[in-house]
């Protein structure tokens, strides 16, 4: 049997990733099959079959799931926002259809889902004396950086500030599936991306930086459907090919929390940002993707990482 050409396989993945990026950026609007096929540069007659075979869902099953999972995140992160408004922001034009599909997917109505999840979350915080101590963060305005910063008691945390980040163009390699604690997976993805970037002279450029974007909430999305992109900052006119894609990371206000962690401590750092810093900050998460920035190389098994979460005032 003739072996599959890996360069063609990568080209197909790249085209499907472009569709993912387009859907995520325009999630609130209605989509047509022709529109999505155009993004992938496939004929509409073949696009549906190719997408379904590669992703395991039809294009519109994928869109429906992404919208419902985004809505579930918004219900918890924006607890004062109306369910109707969240439904509209996530691309549902009819609240009754949204409620029916949400219950079918999560086995709970939107209101019950919010009530149950928030109750469990609040209980776990109240029952933890350590959590209560670490919630005592002191806010101050830094004249030098012109940003709001916090003093915290979280041992892994080095600094926390809210600042305006510029829009960034990145080249990426995307992974779909489980990734938690899989150091070999991350190492392989970084090696692939750096092997592509090195011969193109992209290291050392002013826009160069290393980051990982998480497109889905691991508490909501099934593990085999989680999407994650390892990225480097590149110039807007950088050409990409094969398995390497290119996208824009939205700018705006972010909380940037710096940590020094070992590989197994990343979940603890993320949990602190969401479970302890955010509830006392006066901010709530915005809808843009979260990401990690790596300002320097890891040393002695420890990583310096900036966890960046988009925020807006309560």
Domain ranges within the chain, ordered by starting residue: 6-117, 162-313
Tens-level pLDDT at each residue, the chain (314 residues) = 444 555 667 888 899 999 999 999 999 999 999 999 999 999 988 999 999 999 999 999 999 999 999 999 999 888 888 999 999 999 999 999 999 999 999 999 999 999 998 887 654 454 444 545 545 677 777 667 677 788 888 899 999 999 999 999 999 999 999 998 888 999 999 999 999 999 999 998 999 999 999 999 888 999 999 999 999 999 999 999 888 999 999 999 999 999 999 988 999 999 899 888 988 888 888 888 899 999 988 888 899 999 999 998 88
- Closest Cα partner for 232 from 286, 192, 268? 192
Asked whether 83 and 111 are in contact (CB, 8 A), the reply is yes
Q: Which residue has the tokens 């109306």?
A: 82
Where are the strands (E) in 54-190, listed by range? 138-142, 147-151, 157-165, 168-176
Q: Exposed, middle or buried by CB within 10 Å (0-12, 13-18, 19+), for 71? A: buried
CA-wise closest residue to 229 among 248, 211, 202: 211
Q: Are 168 and 311 in contact (CB under 8 A)?
A: no
Q: What is the CATH superfamily name and number for domain 162-313?
A: Regulatory factor, effector binding domain (3.20.80.10)
Give just the sign of the alpha carbon dihedral 312, 220, 273, 177: negative
Let me know if 214 is exposed, middle or buried by CB neighbors in 10 A (0-12, 13-18, 19+).
middle
Contacts of residue 301, Cβ cutoff 8 Å, sequence gap at least 6:
262, 263
Taking domain 6-117, whether its CATH number is 1.10.10.60 is answered by yes
Report d(CA 173, CA 210) in Å as an integer: 12
């Amino acid at each position: 049997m003739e072996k599959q050409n890996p360069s063609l396989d990568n080209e197909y993945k790249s085209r499907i990733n472009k569709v993912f990026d387009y859907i995520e950026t325009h999630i609130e609007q209605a989509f047509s099959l022709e529109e999505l096929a155009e993004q992938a540069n496939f004929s509409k007659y073949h696009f549906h079959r190719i997408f379904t075979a590669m992703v395991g869902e039809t294009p519109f099953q994928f869109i429906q799931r992404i919208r419902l999972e985004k809505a579930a995140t918004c219900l918890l992160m924006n607890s004062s926002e109306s369910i109707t408004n969240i439904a509209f922001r996530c691309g549902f034009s009819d609240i009754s259809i949204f409620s029916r599909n949400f219950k079918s997917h999560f086995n709970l109505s939107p209101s019950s889902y919010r009530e149950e999840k928030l109750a469990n979350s609040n209980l776990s915080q109240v029952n933890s004396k350590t959590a209560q101590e670490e919630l005592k963060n002191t806010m101050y305005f830094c004249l030098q950086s012109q940003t709001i910063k916090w003093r915290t008691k979280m041992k892994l945390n080095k600094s926390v500030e809210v600042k305006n980040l510029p829009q960034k163009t990145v080249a990426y390699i995307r992974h779909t599936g489980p990734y938690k604690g899989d150091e070999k997976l991350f190492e392989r993805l970084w090696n692939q991306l750096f092997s592509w970037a090195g011969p193109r002279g992209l290291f050392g450029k002013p826009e160069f930086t290393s980051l990982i974007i998480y497109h889905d909430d691991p508490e909501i999305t099934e593990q085999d459907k989680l999407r994650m992109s390892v990225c480097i900052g590149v110039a807007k006119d950088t050409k990409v090919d094969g398995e390497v894609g290119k996208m824009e990371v939205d700018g705006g206000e972010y909380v940037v929390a710096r940590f020094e962690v070992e590989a197994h401590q990343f979940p603890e750092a993320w949990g602190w940002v969401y479970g302890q810093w955010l509830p006392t900050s006066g901010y709530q998460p915005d809808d843009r993707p979260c990401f990690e920035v790596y300002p320097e190389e890891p040393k002695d098994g420890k990583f310096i990482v900036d966890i960046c979460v988009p925020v807006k005032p309560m």
